[in-house]
Each structure stands twice: as structure tokens, then as C-alpha cells.
Amino acid sequence: MTTVINDFEKRASEIKLYFKLLEKVVEEEACLYLSEKQTHKYIQFDGELQKVMKANMFLLLYNLAESSIKQSLAEVYDTISAENVSYRDVKDEIQKIWIDTEYKNFNQMGTDRIYEVLNSILDDVIEIEFDASKKISGNIDARKIREFAQQIGFSPRVHHTLNDGVKLHQVKTQRNKLAHGDLSFAECGRNYTIPDLRVIYNQVVKYLRRILLNIEAFLHDKSYLN
């Protein structure tokens, strides 16, 4: 998980830099100075451009959420598979994932085949792979993360000041509206002030960081084993 957490922190720091620029543009009415050959001029960030820049925060934050959760869950699946442990060695949550992966057509098997499976499954070596395209694909929010926590067995608990990551749902909703063309960037950005975005940024980053640390503890303690 070290690589996953380092990548998360790098992406979060990039968003922080962008937000600092956004603060200057909106609150300090900063100008961009361009120098091209003999032409020297300033570009003013007008109201419409400010709205677009504010809306872009939702894309940056959602990408941070999806990439970090996708990487961390892939790390969980890969770590368990690399352990070379059998079905009998892992906890119920992982057993269910394995059955769903390997025996998804169980109800279509004949009696003889079911008998063979039931007699051999305890010694099956667990090999699972996280399919992000099926399990994530634009729908990461705190509710979805809690679903993953229940399915896999890591803790979804965070500090009470983070309100169970409620701001991440807001980020997902706005991002999807922008991505699907249901809302223009200017329309989205005009609804949020810099203080609004500061609260959203801080809560989302802190919430995701806590979840990643929970997953790291889950792997470190090998909580997937019986």
C-alpha cells in the first residue's frame, strides 16, 4: 500500500496547488502575465472563467477518489492472491468473493459437478482479481466505499468530523453531471464559493486518506485470514 498512498498524496498535493491558484484568481483577482516575443500582456480571469475553474475542482477530486480506491482494492486482491492461501484459510468475506469469481454458475451445475466442487473447494487456492470497470466506473462515493468495506472486511470507520464522507457524494454527483453534459462548467461553478470548495476539498481528502490507512491496516494485520 505504500505506493498507493504515496500516489494519493502526490495527487492530493497537485489539487492543493490548483486550489491555491483558484483562491488567488477569485479572492485576490489575480492576473496572468504572458510574454510572447515582443508582446507583453495580462490576461484577466473573468467571472465566467472563474466558474469554469471552480467546477474543475470536482473533476480533480473525483479522479483522486476513483484512482486511489481502484488502486487500493486492486492491492487487496493482489496481496491475498500472492499469499497462496486456500479457501479454508480466509475469512467469510473473501470466501464469498472467491465463490462469486470461480463458481458464479454454481446453480447451473449438475449434481455430480456440485458434489465434486463441495469436496474440493476447501483446498482451492484463492486467486482473485479486482475488475474496476465492473465495480467502479464513475460511481465512487462514501456509500460505495462502505459496500466494498462490507464485502472485503476492512474498516470503513472515519473521524466523526468527516461526516462519513458525505462531501464525496457531492463530488461524484457534480462530476457525473459535468462528464455526461447535464451541466456546463460555468453552471456548476457559479453555485460554489471558495469557502464551499475549501470545505469539500478538506473533507474529501481527509476521508480518503483515512480509508486508505484502514485498508493498509487490514493488509498489514492480514485481517483477511481466519
Torsion, Cα of 214, 218, 224, 226 (10° steps): -120
* Average of per-residue pLDDT across 186-192: 96
**Between 104 and 30, where is the model more confident?**
104
Would you state the pLDDT for residue 105? 67
The pTM is what?
0.90
Q: Are 90 and 225 in contact (CB under 8 A)?
A: yes
* Average of per-residue pLDDT across 158-169: 96
Tell me the C-alpha distance between 57 and 18, whole Å.
8
Give every CB contact of residue 57 below 8 A, 6+ residues apart in sequence: 15, 18, 19, 22, 197, 200, 201
End-to-end CA distance of the chain: 21
Q: Are 35 and 43 in contact (CB under 8 A)?
A: no
- pLDDT surpassing 60 at residue 27: yes
Tell me the C-alpha distance between 131 and 74, whole Å.
8
Res. 120 pLDDT band, cuts 50 70 90: confident
